[in-house]
Amino acid sequence: MAIFLTVAVIALIYIVIIQIAKASEYVSVLKGEDVSRKQNNKINGFLMVVFLVLGLFGVWYCNNLYLGKTLLSVDSASVEGARVDSMLWITIAVTGSVFLATQIILFWFAYRYQEKEQRKVFYFPHNNKLEVLWTIVPAIVLTVLVVIGLRNWFLFTGEPPKDAMVVEVTGKQFNWIFRYPGKDGALGKKYFRNIDDANNNPLGIIWDDQLSHDDVVFDKLILIKGKPVKLIIGSRDVIHDVGLSQFRLKMDAVPGIPTTMWFTPKYTTKEMKELTHNPDFVYEISCDQMCGNGHYSMRGVIDVVDQEEFDLWMAKQKPQYLMAFPDKDPSNKKDSVKLAVAPVETAGKTIAKM
């Protein structure tokens, strides 16, 4: 019922507008096109200024409402992201002032130079000085922005500091898998044909590679405050994207082509809860590249903790190797001492070779 009512009301509005429009057309013909054009001109010239004023008020009002809900209201969660923020503010200042100046000029000119009987237009086809001026000034301003931008860009995409920890991030429809290199600090090799979800090998790790034996696979990303981290990003199926909005960075996950990204977390999750005044705050990884019908739900969680807490957590983790081969796990055997040394040699026999 409500829907019919809505339709009826909308139809009524249409009819009213159209009738008014028709009537005004008759009036304009009766009065003469010239007269009605001048009337319309006055109304619309006035509306140009009204629109400018209301528009600028709207810009201010919108900013009031929503700036606090953006990331600009909180400090960047990564050391590098702070550079994005400062660059954002510079760019806002530059483009914002150009925006204000040109919009005001545009609507003001429209109002100011509306048709008047007595006005003689100024025949002004070109002026080289002016044209050179507004070629060179934007070029200089843009050069400054490019220089700032590229310095940051090369920092973001350059080599991470030597002491960076490494975590592998793999996207799949529709969640994330994280792999830590374990004590040896190196990730074991993997091959996509070895992927076997049923047998605890969601990444296709090659168990023949002994480096893989202490790799820890986890469904959550735990990072250390103040310690640079290098993410090695890949995908199991289609293109995904590791979107880290609080850290101000993102990078695609492309099947077959590993990508990397590094940054230094600045605040623990706990600290961010206080900074944002949001007790539910959590670092989220959003998939930012359309990856299928579950794209919107491809959510990962990051926990930033301090070193101590991280070590404690790490100590509790069981390497994926032992999940895939429970019989090799010393804690599963009563007689654990003997077997603890042995598993390495016999490991890879049952699965695909490199």
Partner 1 sequence: MSNEAVIHSPVEIGAHEEHGEHHHHHETFITKYVFSQDHKMIAKQFLITGMFWAVLGGLMSVLFRLQLGYPDASFPWLETILGKWAKGGHITPEAYYALVTTHGTVLVFFVLTAGLSGTFANFLIPLQVGARDMASPFMNMLSYWFFFAASVVMLSSIFVQTGPFSGGWTAYPPLSALGDASPGSQTGMDLWIVSMALFVVSSLLGGLNYIATILNMRTKGMSMTRLPLTIWALFFTAVLGVLSFPVLFSGFILLIFDRNFGTSFYLSDIFVNGVGALPNEGGSAILYQHLFWFLGHPEVYIILLPAMGMVSEILSVNSRKPIFGYMAMIGSLFAIAVLAFLVWAHHMFVTGLNPLLGSVFVLLTLLIAVPSAIKVFNWLTTLWRGNIRFTPGMMFAIGFVSLFISGGLTGIWLGNSALDIHLHDTYFVIAHFHIVMGVASMFGMFAGIYHWFPKMYGRYLNNTVGYIHFWVTIAGAYMIFWPMHYEGLAGMPRRYYDYSIWESFKQFAELNRFISTVAMIVFAAQLLFLFNFFYSIFKGRKMTSLNPWQSNTLEWTTPLRPGHGNWPGEIPEVHRWAYDYGKDGVDFIPQTTPVGADESHH
In the window 109-138, what residues touch partner 1 (CB under 8 A)? 109-110, 113-116, 119-127, 130-131, 134-135, 138
Closest CB to partner 1 among residues 44, 350:
44
Q: Which residues pair with 285 in a beta bridge?
A: 300
Beta carbons within 8 Å of 310's beta carbon, 6+ residues apart: 222, 223, 224
Closest CB to partner 1 among residues 299, 353:
299
Cis peptide before 156 (omega within 30 of 0): no
- Decide: 237 and 177 in contact? Cβ < 8 Å: no
Site string for partner 1, 306-345 (x = CB under 8 A): ----------------------------------------
Side by side, which strands form the sheet with 240-244? 221-224, 299-305, 283-287, 240-244, 249-253
Name the minimum Å distance from CB 314 to partner 1.
25
Closest CB to partner 1 among residues 35, 106:
106
Name the minimum Å distance from CB 315 to partner 1.
29
Closest CB to partner 1 among residues 182, 231:
231
> What is the C-alpha to C-alpha distance for residues 259 and 20, in angstroms, rounded to an integer?
61
Contacts (CB under 8 A) with partner 1, residues 230-259? 233, 236-239, 241, 243, 245-246, 248-252, 254-259
Extract the tokens encoding 181.
Answer: 């290199």
Q: Provide the phi-psi class of 52: left if phi over 0, else alpha when psi is between -120 and 50, else beta.
A: alpha
Contacts (CB under 8 A) with partner 1, residues 12-31? 14, 17-18, 20-22, 24-26, 28-30
Q: Judged by CB under 8 A, does residue 64 bind partner 1?
A: no
**Among 87, 314, 323, 339, which residue sits at the site for partner 1 (rule: CB under 8 A)?**
87
